[in-house]
């Protein structure tokens, strides 16, 4: 159960990293790359960091495997949603910057 979750996070990181490179490297031809890249990258980073952090807090601070598992699962969901929201915000700003540079 744990390996597919981490596989999904690492797939998000790879797709997001490549999409971000395309969005930054070729802004004139990349229309949807900022949205795919930034959202995927930050969703993966948020899910990975928050799930590991809450899992460690539940395991070592509270000393309960149940709290650790619930914290890991909650961190996976909340970190993914929060990271995707932040990535979408960054993608909107990047897209606006690409459009304003094209008009100048």
The string of pLDDT tens digits covering residues 69-98 is 999 999 999 999 999 999 999 989 888 887
Cα–Cα distance list, 19 to 24, 25, 40, 85 (Å): 9, 10, 8, 17
Q: What percent of the chain has a predicted confidence (pLDDT) above 90?
A: 47
Q: Tell me how far apart the alpha carbons of residues 72 and 14 are, in angstroms, rounded to a whole number.
A: 22
Q: Please report the sign of the dihedral spanned by the C-alpha atoms of residue 58, residue 63, residue 66, residue 67.
A: negative
Confidence check: pLDDT of 54 > 60? yes
| Residue 73 three-state SS | helix
Using pLDDT thresholds of 50, 70 and 90, give the confidence band for residue 102.
Answer: low
Report residue 83 as tokens. Answer: 């990271």
**pLDDT for the residue numbered 15:** 92
76: CB partners within 8 A, 6+ apart:
5, 9, 47, 50, 51
The string of pLDDT tens digits covering residues 26-46 is 877 777 788 888 999 999 999
């Amino acid at each position: 159960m744990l390996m597919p979750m981490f596989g999904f996070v690492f797939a998000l990181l790879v797709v997001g990293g490549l999409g971000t490179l395309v969005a930054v490297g070729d802004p004139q031809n990349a229309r949807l790359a900022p949205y795919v890249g930034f959202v995927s990258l930050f969703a993966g980073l948020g899910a990975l960091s928050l799930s590991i952090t809450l899992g460690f807090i539940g395991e070592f601070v509270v000393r309960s495997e149940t709290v650790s598992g619930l914290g890991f699962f909650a961190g996976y969901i909340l970190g993914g949603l929060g990271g995707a929201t932040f990535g979408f915000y960054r993608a909107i700003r990047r897209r606006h910057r690409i459009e304003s540079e094209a008009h100048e």
